Amino acid sequence: TRPGAGRAALGGPVVYAHRGASAYAPENTIDAIDLAMQMGFDWVENDVQRTKDGVLVVIHDDTLARTTDVEQRFPNRAPWKVQDFTAAEIAQLDAGSWFGDEYAGAWVPTLREYLDRVQRNQQRLLLEIKKPELYPGIEEQTLKVLDEAGWLDARHVAQRLVVQSFSADSVRIVHRLRPDLVTAFLGTPTVADLPRYAEFTDRINPWHTTISADWVSAVHGLRGAHGKAMEVDTWIVDDAATARRVQDMGVDGIITNAPDVVQDAVGGF
Ligand code: G3P
Ligand code: CA
C-alpha cells in the first residue's frame, strides 16, 4: 500500500489504525504508529491518561498490568494503576515484551513524545481522552500539550486531529475550550437523543454491533457542532465481512487493529 491509503478520497471509508497497527505491534507504542505508517495508514488512534505526577501518557487500560512488565518491576504496587505511578517509573517499564520478544524495549510514550512522532510520520491523530472521570482537568491539560506540540494550528485543526471520548461531559468540555476542534462522541445515542449531541460534537463513533443503516442515516441527517453533516466512525472491526457490512451501512470510517485487512475489504485498490 502507499502513503495515504485508507483515505475517504479513494472512495471507501477512512481506515483508522486503532492504538496504532495493534494487531501486529504492541498497542499505543511508537512501534505501532511507525508500523501503521509503513503499511500506508495515516490516521492512528490512541488513549490518553495521566501519571501520579501529572504527566499525560498514552495507554489504554487504567492499570499497567496487561501491557507492561510492571508486576515484575514493582511487585508490591498492586493493582498497578497508571495514576499511582510517576512518569519516571512508567518510563522504566517494558511495554513491548508482552506482545513479542522482538518488541522488547518498547515503552509507554508520553503524549508529547507520541505527538512528535505522529507529526514526524506525517500522520493524523484520533486522540481519545480515556476515563476522564479519573483525571480531573485532563481535557484542558490535553489541549495544553497539543498546543505546545504545535497541534492546534489551523492546519492541524482542519485536517489532522479529532478528539474523542466515551464521556459526553469530556467532549463538551473540549468543545467549550476549543470550539474550532473536531470532536467525536464514543457511543450509540438513540435517534431521539442525537440532536443533543449535535450541539457539541461533529462525529458519533459507535461499537459496530450496536448500529444499523437507519441509525447511520439518522446521524448523517444532522448537522454537527460545525454545521456540517455529522459522520460515523465505527470500531473495532478486524475482519473483512464485518468491514463490508458496516461499509454497506454507510459509515464514514472504520477503526481497526488490522488496517490492512479492512482496507483490502473496503478499499478501491
Ligand atoms: O476508538 C474507539 C475505541 O478505541 C474505543 O474503545 O476501549 O479500544 O478505547 P477502546
Ligand atoms: Ca481508544
10-residue mean pLDDT profile of the chain (269 residues): values are 41 95 98 98 98 99 98 98 98 98 98 98 98 98 98 96 98 98 98 98 98 98 98 98 98 98 86
Residue 10 pLDDT: 56
Span between the terminal Cα atoms of the chain, in Å: 9
User: Mutate which of 18, 44, 67, 185 to test ligand 1's pocket (most atoms within 8 Å of Cβ)?
Assistant: 18
Mutate to test the pocket of ligand 1, among 47, 49, 171, 257 (most ligand atoms within 8 A of CB): 47
- Lining residues, ligand 1, CB within 6 Å: 18, 45, 47, 60, 128, 186, 205, 235, 255
CATH number at residue 90: 3.20.20.190
Domain count, the chain: 1
Per-residue pLDDT tens for 189-199?
999 999 999 99
Q: What is the pTM of this model?
A: 0.95
What does the alpha-carbon distance between residue 43 and residue 19 come to, in Å, rounded to a whole number?
10
Tell me whether residue 74 is in a domain: yes
Q: For 187-193, which contacts have Cβ atoms below 8 Å and span 24 or more sequence positions? A: 188/215, 191/215, 191/218
Beta bridge partners of 89: none
Q: Provide the 3-class DSSP secondary structure of residue 244.
A: helix
CA of 164 to the centre of ligand 1 (A): 10
Q: Left if phi > 0, otherwise alpha if psi is -120 to 50, otherwise beta: which for 4?
A: left
Please write the tens of the pLDDT for every residue from 217-265: 999 999 999 999 999 999 999 999 999 999 999 999 999 999 999 999 9
Asked, for residue 3, whether it belongs to a domain, the answer is no
- Interior CA angle at 211 toward 207 and 213, to 5°? 140
Give the separation between CA 101 and CA 116, rounded to whole angstroms.
26
ipTM of the predicted structure?
0.99
Question: Does 1 reside within a domain?
Answer: no
Grid cell, residue 97, equals 515484551
Structural domain harbouring 128: 8-266
Task: Judge whether 15 lies within some domain.
Answer: yes
Residue 3, pLDDT score? 35
Q: Is residue 122 part of a domain?
A: yes
CA diameter of the chain: 53
- What was the pLDDT predicted at 7? 43
Per-residue pLDDT, 267: 86
* Structural domain includes residue 94: yes
- The answer as to whether 241 is a domain residue is yes
Q: What is the DSSP letter of 190?
A: -
* CA–CA dist 216, 204 (Å, integer): 9
Strand 56-58 relative to strand 124-129, pairing: unpaired
Distance (angstroms) between ligand 1 centre and the Cα of 253 equals 14
